[in-house]
């Protein structure tokens, strides 16, 4: 797997990504959701990358930055290859030359210097905790669920409530938990997607060392992007799960009582990093369906076929030039056709991209995008 610390220094690009395994069937390009609005053609790029002399030229193609790392190509590949990682590899060539877009440069530098890609100070990472009674992890004390917040949830006021509501819920139901202190640092999921493999490896080493200081059975991530990154880490002592897995378990065993009614027509959007990349499809649905009053709906494209919102793959810092309709807008139009009042998600990036789409389409009156924790917060 690309991104894991291993000796790739002496491997050719073709060897690193097993390009000769590709049979050019084209399932990657046929399934790639961004091809409808950009020039990205994964099959062609994989084919062209055989020629190592072309790599520099290929790395400068703007469409290399259009990939949102949804992993549809990898899910569909009959040979088990990951065209998405070939694109990360091309991005890596540009990153190593230093000549990346200023927005990408700033995100990478901020992660290196301050442990988050948002240009925020490390010292303000825990401002979201203000006024809350949060249990902070102590290396001497065993804890069942050790939470990892995610940079976007920690800093972005739109999604800070994911962490805040989680604290309120865990406190209310007396769940054994703790959050990391100020040492928490970026998981580097998006850094790897932006092609800065070395920074990802550095972050991975630091995080593994940090997590292993604590006595815990499992690490619970609030973002599926952190979950995906942690699963690439080597040497973690604890299991890593997404919060929807924990909550589904707590709802099932009756620890959490969701008896307050929520009268909404909810359609659930599978985040690519939770569904396609971690096979977590049922738990978010189980949580939402257990709330009385909820009329649960499915998108036509759901589960493995879920349409990407274009928030992953470092796209938060690498804008696509295409003026064609954003996939998030297509998604919101689909939700409108279903007459949904809430588009529920379990990923901070999906909240941000879909929220923008609701505003761009002028549907704010009839519909809202809500993180599952946002909805549960309303029931507390």
Partner 1 sequence: MKTFVCIKQVPDTSEAEVKVDSSGKAVDASRFSFDINDADNYAVEAAVQIKEAHEGTVTVVSMGPQSSDVMIRMAMAKGGDDAMRIEDSRINAVDPLSVAKVLAASIKDKEFDLVLTGCMASDDGHMSVGVAMAEELGVPHVSMVKDIEVLGDGKIKASRELEGGLMEVVEVTLPAVITIQTGINEPRYAPIRGIRQAQKKELSVLSLDDLGVPADQVDESASQIILNKLYVPEVVSAAEFIEGEPEEKAEKLASILIKGGHV
Interface residue list for partner 1 (CB under 8 A): 95-100, 102, 104-105, 108-110, 112-114, 119-124, 196, 198-199, 202
E-strand ranges in the chain read: 143-148, 177-179, 216-221, 239-242, 265-268, 295-298, 342-345, 368-371
Nearer to partner 1, 199 or 340 (CB): 199
CB of 36 to partner 1, least distance (A): 31
Nearer Cβ to partner 1 (99/359): 99
Which CB atom, from 96 or from 295, has the smaller least distance to partner 1?
96
Write down the H helix ranges in 273-347: 282-289, 327-337
d(C-alpha 265, C-alpha 344), whole Å = 10
Shortest Cβ 195–partner 1 spacing (Å): 9
Based on CB atoms, which residue is closest to partner 1, 121 or 132?
121
Q: Which residue has the tokens 């290196």?
A: 112
**Phi/psi zone of residue 271: left (φ > 0), alpha (ψ -120 to 50 degrees), beta?**
beta
Q: Which is nearer to partner 1, 184 or 374 (CB)?
A: 184
Taking the C-alpha atoms of residue 51 and residue 19, their distance in angstroms, rounded to an integer, is 10
Which tokens in the block code for residue 330? 């297509």
How near is the Cβ of 197 to partner 1 at its closest, in Å? 9
d(CA 288, CA 246): 14
Residues 6+ apart with CB under 8 A from 265: 295, 297, 338, 339, 340, 341, 342
| Beta carbon nearer to partner 1, 77 or 100 | 100
CB of 147 to partner 1, least distance (A): 23
CB 220 within 8 A of CB 162: no
């Amino acid at each position: 797997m690309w991104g894991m610390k291993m000796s790739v220094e002496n491997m050719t690009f073709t060897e690193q990504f097993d390009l000769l395994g590709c049979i050019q069937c084209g399932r990657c390009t046929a399934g790639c959701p961004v091809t409808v609005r950009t020039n990205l053609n994964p099959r062609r790029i994989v084919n062209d990358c055989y020629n190592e002399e072309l790599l520099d030229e290929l790395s400068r193609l703007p469409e290399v930055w259009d990939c949102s790392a949804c992993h549809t190509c990898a899910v569909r590949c009959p040979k088990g290859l990951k065209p998405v990682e070939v694109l990360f590899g091309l991005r890596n060539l540009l990153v190593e030359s230093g000549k990346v877009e200023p927005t990408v440069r700033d995100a990478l530098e901020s992660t290196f210097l301050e442990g988050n890609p948002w240009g925020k100070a490390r010292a303000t990472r825990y401002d979201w905790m203000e006024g809350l009674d949060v249990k902070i992890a102590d290396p001497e004390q065993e804890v069942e669920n050790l939470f990892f917040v995610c940079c976007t949830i920690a800093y972005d006021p739109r999604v800070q409530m994911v962490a805040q509501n989680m604290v309120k819920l865990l406190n209310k139901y007396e769940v054994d938990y703790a959050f990391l202190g100020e040492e928490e640092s970026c998981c580097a999921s998006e850094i790897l997607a932006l092609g800065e493999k070395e920074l990802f490896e550095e972050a991975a080493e630091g995080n593994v060392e940090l997590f292993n200081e604590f006595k815990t059975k499992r690490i619970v991530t609030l973002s599926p992007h952190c979950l995906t990154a942690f699963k690439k880490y080597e040497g973690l002592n604890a299991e890593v799960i997404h919060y929807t897995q924990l909550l589904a378990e707590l709802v099932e065993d009756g620890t959490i009582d969701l008896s307050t009614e929520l009268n909404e027509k909810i359609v659930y959007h599978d985040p690519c990093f939770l569904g396609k990349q971690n096979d977590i499809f049922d738990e978010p649905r189980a949580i939402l369906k257990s709330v009385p009053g909820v009329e649960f709906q499915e998108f036509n494209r759901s589960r493995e076929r879920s349409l990407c919102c274009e928030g992953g793959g470092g796209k938060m810092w690498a804008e696509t030039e295409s003026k064609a309709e954003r996939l998030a807008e297509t998604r919101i139009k689909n939700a409108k056709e279903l007459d949904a009042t809430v588009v529920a998600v379990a990923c901070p990036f999906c909240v941000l991209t879909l929220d923008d789409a609701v505003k761009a389409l002028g549907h704010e009156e009839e519909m809202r995008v809500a993180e599952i924790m946002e909805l549960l917060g309303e029931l507390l």
